[in-house]
Structure 1
Amino acid sequence: MSSAAVAAGKPVRALGDVLAMALDALVIMFTRRFSWREAVQQAWFIARVSLVPTLLVMLGFTLLVIFEVNLLLKDLGALDLAGGIAGIASVQQIGPFVTVVVVAGAGGTAICADLAARTIREEIAAMQVLGIDPIQRLVVPRMVAAVLVSLVLNILICAGGLVGGFFFSVYLQDVTPGAYVASIPLFTGIPEFAVSMFKAFVFGLIAAVIACYRGLTVSGGSKGVGDAVNQAVVITVAVLVPVSLSISLVQFAVL
């Protein structure tokens, strides 16, 4: 087999390995015991390092989108729909995507670095020799933690986006408070919020799986650890874009 064919097959094998690890982790998550104490500790760590960046990015993205869209609505004479647009922006799109980008950038890098350091020090190999499953002991708690934090942060971003959009629209762009609140249910309801939470669940799962996979497959010493951390974030963002688009297309087709 030529070197070009081998190189072309590496991404396919990596994708298969990631999917296999994700499937194993999901089976273990629902059928076998794992360390909830480890999951809570990891969730607290991810939340602690992700909360402030999430709020800052959320405010920037939400206010920028609301400002631009409100200018268009004002030209069209439909500024009373500002609340509905804020709901679409924060709940359906910005909330889950910003959540997982920050979780992957802050928490995912820490997860990847921790597992990569363990792999380089051959701790993972030692666990396997002792009959301890690294996926059950290390991967599953981190996946649970990432998903829980993603769901909580998504709720926070959705609420913060609506509240921030209210103050921005009412006090800076002369939208009446009653019109802002009344227009929110026109575009955003329980089904849209459920889809947003589903996105946050899937995105958090993807971020954790990719971070864990790169941490467990690292090679090349300390330089390999740094490369794995950078690759985990880049790959996560690259994967989330088509996944988010696919979920949105299904949502628009069904709802």
Structure 2
Amino acid sequence: MSRHAGARAIEVLPRQLVPKSGAVRPGGERHRERVASGAAQLYVADDEEKDRVPIPPRPGAIIRALSATGDLFALGLDTTRATFKRPFAAREALEQFWFVVSVSWIPAMLVAIPFGAVIALQLGTLTVQVGAQSFTGAASVLAVVQQAAPIVTTLVIAGAGGAAICADLGSRKIRDEIDAMKVIGVSPIQRLVVPRVLACIAAAILLNGLVSVVGVLGGYFFNVIVQGGTPGAYLASFTALAQISDLWVGEIKAAIFGFIAGVVAAYRGLNTAPGPKGVGDAVNQSVVITFLLLFFVNFVITTLYLQLFPGKGA
């Protein structure tokens, strides 16, 4: 409260946000009625007084990107820590695992066939040119098991299961269910995020084996039928370059990629903007971000593997 010359009690009303619809806030209507009745007079701060109140600047794009990256890593760490806490939502994890597998296994197999075929055809042409036809099968299996299978599996999981997870959590967010869980003392990360991330990891590990088999069979068929390769030579060369450790590398990649897909989908769902448009944008962003991270992490893992175990191939 302050007083000016020739005025009664003056009520200082801070500047309010005006809704786009033009509706008048109840508090603002009551204040106008008090001013009109003479009980109080409206006083709005002039430009000099407004300058005394610092307005925090809006963070730039780089700051927002770094902040979002930190929040994503924090969610990943919180999810890892909450995985070992009790109680564990086993039923929720099983339901989510079944859902992710049910919407991903058929597209994963359909995508694996042309991947294996393209790799086999390309390597078959190259080995014929250099006179190393006997290594076609080994090179094809190595490329499919280590590189193509984990990427294909996780891309399908992110595009089908991850998008559904993001939409589910985003709809819960805009309906204030996430805030309600926090109010009653239930951790959304432990109850919602952990089961979905574990479901993505388990689905990626299991489907990676299926995609590897389908990709190898597709490569074998196209190499033998289309390029006229020898079936015995193709099968006998498996052990020339491919090792059992290569399969483990593919499974480890699939587990890491599944974790990334689940965490990114959960992060975008928990931080979605209000309204249906916000949920749709969050789903789109989760799929795009997952694709970019998968290729970058695959490059890092492959580089480290080649540096640590150069004798076993890529």
> TM class by shorter-chain length?
over 0.9
Q: Is the 8 A contact 2:123 2:140 kept in 1?
A: no
Higher relative contact order (Cα pairs below 8 Å, separated by 6+ residues): 1
Q: Distance in 1 between matches of 2:292 and 2:57?
A: 28
State yes or no: 1:36 paired with 2:95.
no
Which residue, out of 194, 210, 226, partners 2:264?
Answer: 210
| Pairing 1:19-98 to 2, within 5 Å after superposition | 19-98=73-152
| Pairing 1:100-115 to 2, within 5 Å after superposition | 100-115=154-169
Quick one: which amino acid aligns to residue 269 of structure 2? Answer: G
Q: Is the 8 A contact 2:261 2:290 kept in 1?
A: yes
TM-score normalised to structure 1 length: 0.96
Which residue in 1 is equivalent to 2:17? none
Q: Distance in 2 between matches of 1:126 and 1:134?
A: 10
Quick one: which amino acid aligns to residue 169 of structure 1? Answer: N
Which residue, out of 222, 229, 240, partners 2:294?
Answer: 240
Q: Distance in 1 between matches of 2:85 and 2:135?
A: 47
Which residue, out of 213, 217, 226, partners 1:172?
Answer: 226
Which of the two has greater helix per residue?
A: 1
Q: Distance in 1 between matches of 2:157 and 2:144?
A: 17
Deviations 1:68-93 (A, max 9, x none): 22111122222221111211221010
Which residue, out of 11, 15, 22, partners 2:65?
Answer: 11
Q: Is the 8 A contact 2:159 2:287 kept in 1?
A: yes
Shift of 1:13: 1.1
Q: Distance in 2 between matches of 1:249 and 1:116?
A: 36
Gaps of 5+ in 1: none
Change (3 A) 1:33 1:190: farther
Q: Is the 8 A contact 1:86 1:161 kept in 2?
A: no
Deviations 1:50-76 (A, max 9, x none): 111111111111111211221111222
Which residue in 2 is equivalent to 1:231? 285
Give structure 1 regions of 4+ aligned residues with deviation exceeding 6 angstroms.
Answer: none
| Greater alpha carbon shift after TM alignment, 10-19 vs 69-78 | 69-78
Q: Is the 8 A contact 1:43 1:145 kept in 2?
A: yes
Q: Is the 8 A contact 2:120 2:220 kept in 1?
A: no
Quick one: which amino acid aligns to residue 209 of structure 1? Answer: V
| Greater alpha carbon shift after TM alignment, 59-68 vs 195-204 | 59-68
State yes or no: 1:181 paired with 2:235.
yes
Quick one: which amino acid aligns to residue 6 of structure 1? Answer: G
Shift of 1:8: 1.6
Deviations 1:69-123 (A, max 9, x none): 2111122222221111211221010000011100000000000000000000011
Structure of greater Rg: 2
TM-score normalised to structure 2 length: 0.78
Quick one: which amino acid aligns to residue 230 of structure 1? Answer: N
Q: Is the 8 A contact 1:80 1:175 kept in 2?
A: no
Which residue in 2 is equivalent to 1:158? 212
Q: Distance in 1 between matches of 2:283 and 2:104?
A: 16
Deviations 1:198-240 (A, max 9, x none): 1000000000000000000111300000000000000001111
Q: Distance in 2 between matches of 1:33 and 1:129?
A: 18
| Greater alpha carbon shift after TM alignment, 144-153 vs 171-180 | 171-180
Shift of 1:2: 5.1
Percent of residue pairs bearing the same amino acid type: 44
Q: Distance in 1 between matches of 2:245 and 2:275?
A: 47
RMSD: 1.3
Quick one: which amino acid aligns to residue 108 of structure 1? Answer: G
Matched residue of 1:33: which SS? coil
| Greater alpha carbon shift after TM alignment, 157-166 vs 208-217 | 157-166
Which residue in 1 is equivalent to 2:33? none
Shift of 1:31: 3.6
